[in-house]
Amino acid sequence: MSTLPVVVAVDGSENSWRALDWAWDAARRRGAPLRVAHVRHHFAWTQPGAPVVVPPPPDDDPVLADAGARLAAAGDGPRTEYVGLDGAPGALLPELGSDAQLLVLGSRGRGGFASLLLGSNGLSAARDAECPVVVVPPPGREVDDVLPAEPGPRVAVGLKVDAPDDATLGLAFAEAAVRGARVQVVAAYPWPIQSWVAPGDLALPVYDQDAIEHETRTLVDGFLAPHRERHPEVDVEPRPAPGDAAGLLVAASKDAALVVVGRHRRRLLTPARMLGSVTHAVLLHAASPVAVVPPAPAEE
């Protein structure tokens, strides 16, 4: 495993404490150091007569002190350092991933609106960070049980057979290896298949669903071969399934240790970084932690 740290952002909210617990465990499993960061967002008022809010000294940060006390109570764990930063979280959080192997966040911090399932800072970090970003959701999210799985620890990963992403599969296998879990590979294919034959007319051509599923499974097995070779100790469960990829991955998040999804690759006509609609939906609705993996630099 890399010696780069696992970085977790905390702000004193319950969501960030769940992220801290997850990051502590992830660093311990990976044999990596843990870096706990608090981005302090202070506004300096400039109107005449208005008070100026001054950030506390770096060594006098109650959020980091609470984080240290929480980890001390957890017992022996990874080597830990604490970092306090001042500025806009939306800009600084992605930068925390520049020298990290994982960046871990809660689903929403103190600055989020209660009606939002994922705060804007979490979205910007998942979209812009250079390392994989893990978002830890609040407990109690309900998801449809449309993709039942065998009991036991499991890491689910989405695989798009017409645009496979080795970085996403690689993280899923690596995480499964350190957790003693199996990898459930969710590969969605459209069904039923519709085609337009004339304006206003919808035809349902004859397709063999078994043949489509067999072809999807064959493609999946080919993409998984090098990862199986690198991690022979990891059991693999290919799951080609009809339907919407986002819905299937959200369903797979039930009782999963982690769901791994890729970030949208940059295209010639859309050079800006994007999460992608499937990844965005999974972040909003998954019941388990979600890891968003950036594409390899050469692919960007």
pLDDT tens-digit profile of 13-41? 999 999 999 999 999 999 999 999 999 87
Residue 82: count of CB within 10 angstroms of its CB? 19
Tell me if 12 sits within 8 A of 66, measured CB to CB.
Answer: yes
Report how far residue 126's alpha carbon sits from residue 23's, in angstroms, rounded to the nearest whole number: 16
**What is the band of 119 on the pLDDT scale with cuts at 50, 70, 90?**
low
Tell me if 216 sits within 8 A of 245, measured CB to CB.
Answer: no
Sign of CA dihedral 124, 126, 132, 136: positive
List the domains of the chain with CATH numbers.
Answer: 6-136 (3.40.50.620), 154-299 (3.40.50.12370)
- pTM, to two decimals: 0.84
| Percent of the chain's residues with pLDDT above 70 | 78
**What is the band of 270 on the pLDDT scale with cuts at 50, 70, 90?**
very low
Phi and psi for 203 in degrees, rounded to 5?
-110, 145
Burial class (CB in 10 A: 0-12, 13-18, 19+), 63: buried
Report how far residue 107's alpha carbon sits from residue 176's, in angstroms, rounded to the nearest whole number: 22
